[in-house]
Chains A and B, each alone.
Chain A
Amino acid sequence: MRKCSLSKIDLLFAEIAKTQSLYMPIDGADGRAVYSKWQAGKAWSSALNTVKSPKNFFFPHTEELANFKTAGKTIEIIDVRAEAEDFVVFGVRACDAKSFDILDRVFLTDPVDSFYASRREHGVIITTACNRPTETCFCTTFGIDAAEPAGDISTWKTGGELYLKANTEKGEALLAALEGVTEAADDAAVRAEKENIRKIMKKLPLADVKADAFGGGKTKQYFDDPAWAALSESCLGCGTCTFVCPTCQCYDVKDFNTGRGIIRFRCWDSCMYSDFTLMAHGNNRNSQKERFRQRFMQKLVYYPENNDGIFGCVGCGRCLAKCPISMNIVKVMKTLGGKN
């Protein structure tokens, strides 16, 4: 384990940024934290989390897939893929770090998504433990320990120091390169901090939310539950929950005619939208109730069914804070799971 004084953290950041881009939550002009590129003079935000999750680094909101140019009767296909450059994402929370595992299972299984894979390969994740979780946090529901965040390097902020521990080869390589700006440390302070965090996690109002009632093989049990009607009653059908979600992974592929050629791009899609997965035969989810049900069944039943029982939610609480009508996965789990 290494440590670096928080008063000298800029030296640590500068050392990382010497060789690659460094991103972290930085407060914008309006005081809200946004993942941004660090440069001298910028400060690491003390905010618990960002509205937009760090999944953007690997699975951006919009990206070009290919270009097409026509000349006479021939079509030229232009591969726009470029090897990603090395980069570091710092300050990732335990919940968001877990979301990368969930996305990996989708994008890195055959056929591998080369766009995503290139970024994953070149990105180093530095996580940070949550000293002050808030009432919308429920990562423990999904077996995540906010005191022990995953990632290539984990960090803890305590007693005016930042403690760093490498978890992977990539993390060890980076930490080795930072020896000049860090010093060796024992883990006593970190162990005490972990205890503190775990104590707080137990006191959170959502600490008792359990996912046990859900999982693979429960489609029949929940699909026709009459409670979906009331749960989805006032859903606006907007895409807020899906776009702030660190694990939502659906996208649409579209062609844009520039007049001189075609740009094929993909952009995030939302199962809440009425034209989601619209096909030649029409749409198989015609009501908001069906679209709403899809989102939660995917997180709580379908995804675990196809992924060794792992749930498609990390309990980050973004949808709890941001849904315009305050309907969310916790309310769904308590309503449906409470009676089973």
Chain B
Amino acid sequence: MQKITRDALIEKAAALLENGTVSAVLGWKRGEFDYDVTPAVFNSIDEMKEGFVWNDFCGANFSKYLVSKTKKAEGKILVFLKPCDTYSFNQLLTEHRFDREKVYAVGIPCEGMADIDKIREIAGDGISKIECGEKITVTTLYADEPVVIECEKVLEGRCESCKSKAHVAYDELMGDEGEVLDSNRFDEVARLEAMSAEERFAFWQNELSKCIRCNACRDICPACTCEKCVFGNPNSGVENKAISDSFEEKMFHIIRAFHVAGRCTDCGECSRVCPQNIPLHLLNRKFIKDINSFYGEYQAGAEVGSRAPLVNYTTEDLEPGEVFAKGE
């Protein structure tokens, strides 16, 4: 359950629209059901009252939208940022991807988002109503009684190992500031590291063979902000829409992980949107874990303008041979 209410967010937006601080609001819009929320730009308070939602299904990270939305915006745009979104926000600022002056960021607390697939596993198909309160109450077409579920049981995978309840960027904060958490997010990576090379290969072979090459992981990724991706550019020579073979699939995902290494904030959007539920974030987390152990703790997006270890040469840097040895 979220600590801050939808009404409080609308009230905040109304005040900022009213006094001219912002001209539009980037927020979550209600869908057909109670869980299919769409990112949207609201231009008036009436639009917000009609369609704005804030509940346990507002997982979408808006930071990347600021790249395109601030280009068009005449005034400032209000954006609501959950703690993990603020890391992406800072990382994009570090890379000069949007104009900070055109954004009014309001930090909002987040208690973790719910995964509709997990809810479906417990409550069953045919979901007709979901009420988000202290617990999540799910009404379906097939069960006589609504099913009441503890929020913790249906958290999105990324929220189960939340790295921070603290906001690292905002103009204004609503609610109490949280803390950076001692998360268990590298446990799964350690489990993969403990496998033999053959087991690990089989794991990724199985996962990546599910890929349908829809590019949703790339297109949602706040670190993937190239104007034109090499994999979508017919003149690049490596453009490919085909899943020609399993090698191709591994190459795409591994190359993408390399491209965002040191810049990925571990927001987890890639795995959230994957239609085939491939745990893509584990590739990125492996890089983060290695960077931490080779070069010292580093969190991309923790501050604006930091020099990431992979682009910052020091004479104490690890020799490539040592990296290689650790991989064996």
What is A's interface to B at a CB cutoff of 8 Å? 29-30, 32, 48, 51-52, 61-62, 132-135, 200, 203-206, 230, 233-234, 236-240, 242-244, 252, 254, 256, 265, 267-270, 273-275, 278, 320, 322, 324-327, 330-331, 334
Residues of B within 8 A of A203 (CB): 141
Assess A239 versus B32: contact at CB under 8 Å? Given A29-B206, A30-B277.
Answer: no
Residues of B within 8 A of A238 (CB): 214-216, 218-220, 273
The docked-state distance in angstroms from the alpha carbon of A330 to that of B220 is: 22
Assess A324 versus B273: contact at CB under 8 Å? Given A135-B33, A273-B232.
Answer: yes
Assess A275 versus B243: contact at CB under 8 Å? Given A134-B126, A243-B212.
Answer: no
Enumerate 21 A-B pairs (CB-CB under 8 Å) in ascending A order: A29-B206, A30-B277, A32-B277, A48-B125, A51-B275, A135-B33, A205-B32, A233-B39, A233-B40, A234-B40, A238-B216, A238-B220, A252-B241, A265-B242, A270-B214, A273-B232, A275-B239, A320-B32, A320-B36, A324-B220, A331-B31
Evaluate contact between A275 and B31: CB separation under 8 angstroms: no
Evaluate contact between B40 and A240: CB separation under 8 angstroms: no
Cβ of B110 under 8 Å from chain A = no
The docked-state distance in angstroms from the alpha carbon of A191 to that of B51 is: 43
Cβ of B41 under 8 Å from chain A = yes
Q: Would you give the shortest CB distance from A275 to chain B, in whole angstroms?
A: 5
Closest to B124 in A: A132
Cβ of B128 under 8 Å from chain A = yes
Residues of B within 8 A of A61 (CB): 212-213, 242-243
Q: Among residues 76 to 106 in chain B, which have CB atoms less than 8 Å away from a CB atom of chain A?
A: none
Report, nearest first, the 3 A-B pairs whose CB atoms are least far apart. A267-B242, A324-B273, A326-B36
Closest to B239 in A: A275
Residues of A within 8 A of B218 (CB): 238
Residues of A within 8 A of B219 (CB): 236-238, 324
Closest to B32 in A: A330
Q: Would you give the shortest CB distance from B193 to chain A, in whole angstroms?
A: 21
Residues of A within 8 A of B239 (CB): 275
Q: Which of A252, A275, A324 contacts B232 (CB under 8 A)?
A: A275
Residues of B within 8 A of A265 (CB): 242, 244
Task: Provide the main secondary structure of the chain A interface.
Answer: loop
Q: Would you give the shortest CB distance from B323 to chain A, in whole angstroms?
A: 32
Cβ of B280 under 8 Å from chain A = no
The count of chain B contact residues (Cβ–Cβ below 8 Å) is 40
Beyond contacts A51-B276, A327-B38, A334-B32: 12 other A-B pairs, Cβ-Cβ < 8 A, are A30-B277, A62-B242, A134-B125, A238-B219, A239-B215, A240-B273, A243-B212, A274-B228, A322-B275, A326-B31, A330-B32, A331-B38
Residues of B within 8 A of A275 (CB): 232-234, 239
Cβ of B258 under 8 Å from chain A = no
Closest to A203 in B: B141
Q: Among residues 233 to 262 in chain B, which have CB atoms less than 8 Å away from a CB atom of chain A?
A: 233-234, 239, 241-244
Closest to A254 in B: B242
Q: Would you give the shortest CB distance from A291 to chain B, in whole angstroms?
A: 12
Closest to A326 in B: B36
The docked-state distance in angstroms from the alpha carbon of A112 to that of B126 is: 40
